[in-house]
Structure 1
Amino acid sequence: MTHHTAEHRSQAMNTCIDDCTQCHAICLETINYCLGVGGKHAEAKHIGLLSACADICATSADTMLRGASVHTATCGACAEICRQCATSCDSMGDDADMKRCADMCRRCAESCATMAA
C-alpha cells in the first residue's frame, strides 16, 4: 500500500493542495463579505460562482490528498471554475476584498491547470 503523505507527493501537487485549500477559505469569506455589501455583490450568479468555486477547490484538494488518480479531472474543472470566479470578482470594480479573491482564484487556476495536464 502506498502512503500519500506530503513527502511522497510532488512539490507541484503540494502547492496545488495548498492553493485549493486557501482558495476554498477565501471564497467562503468573500461570500460573507459580498452578502454584507449587498447590491451587485450579492447577486445570485456571483454568489453561486463563489460557492461553486469553494466547493470544487475543497473537492480537488481532497482528491489529491487521497492520492486518487482522478485528480486530473477535478483539477481541470477547478481551474475552469476558478478562472470564471476570478472574472466575476474582477467585475465588481475596485474593491480590495474582490481583488484578493480574484488573485487567489487565478493562482489556484494556474496550479490546477498544471495538475490537470
Structure 2
Amino acid sequence: MSNTNLPSAEARVTATVVPGRDPSDFGRCIELCDACATACNRCAAACVKEASSALARCIALELDCAAMCTTAAAIMARNSENAELVCSLCADICRRCAAECAIHDMDHCRNCAQACRQCETECQRMATT
C-alpha cells in the first residue's frame, strides 16, 4: 500500500534545489573538482610508493581533498541548496592541500598543488555567488 500523504521522490529532491540557479552554472567548478580529485589521488598513490614519513601529512591532505572535491562535484551536479557551503569548505581544503604539496619537489606534488589552486579559486567563486 502506498501512502499518498508522502511527497514523491522527485518532489523531495526538487525541494532541495536552489531556486533560480541554473545547474549549468556549476559546470566549470565540477570539472575542476573532478580534475583536482584525480590529481590528489594520483599524488597520494605516488607519495605512498616513496614511503617517506615526511610525506604522511601530504598523503592525508590529498586523500581529504580528493574526497571533498568528489563530494563537492556531486553536490553541485544535484544543484543542492548546500552547494555554496560545500564549495567554501572545498576551497579551504584545496588551499591546505596545495600549500602542503608545494613544499615537495616531486612533479606529482607540483601538479597536485596546481590542480588544487585552480579548484580552490573556482570553488571560492561558486561559494560567493
Band the TM-score falls in, shorter-chain normalisation: 0.7 to 0.9
Whether 1:107 aligns to 2:118 is: yes
Q: TM-score, normalised by structure 1?
A: 0.86
Deviation, 1:38, is: 2.0
C-alpha displacement of 1:46: 1.9
Aligned residue pair count: 109
**Which runs of no fewer than 5 residues in structure 1 stay unpaired?**
none
Cα offset, 1:8, TM superposition: 5.1
Pair 1:114–1:33, CA change in 2 (3 A): same
- Give the alignment of 1:1-117 within 5 angstroms: 9-10=24-25, 13-39=26-52, 40-41=54-55, 43=56, 45-92=57-104, 94-117=105-128
1:27-86, Cα deviation, whole Å (9 max, x unpaired): 111111000112122x1x221111110010000000000110100011000000000000
Structure 1 residues 8 and 54, CA, compared in 2 at 3 Å: closer, same or farther? Answer: closer
SS at match of 2:109: helix
Flag structure 2 segments of 5+ consecutive residues without an equivalent. Answer: 1-9, 15-21
Q: RMSD between aligned alpha carbons?
A: 1.7
Q: Which of structures 1 and 2 has the bigger CA Rg?
A: 2
Greater than 2 Å deviation, 4+ residue runs: none
% identical aligned pairs: 31
Structure-1 residue corresponding to 2:19: none
Letter in 1 for 2:90: C
Q: Distance in 1 between matches of 2:41 and 2:27?
A: 22
Partner SS state of residue 69, structure 1: coil
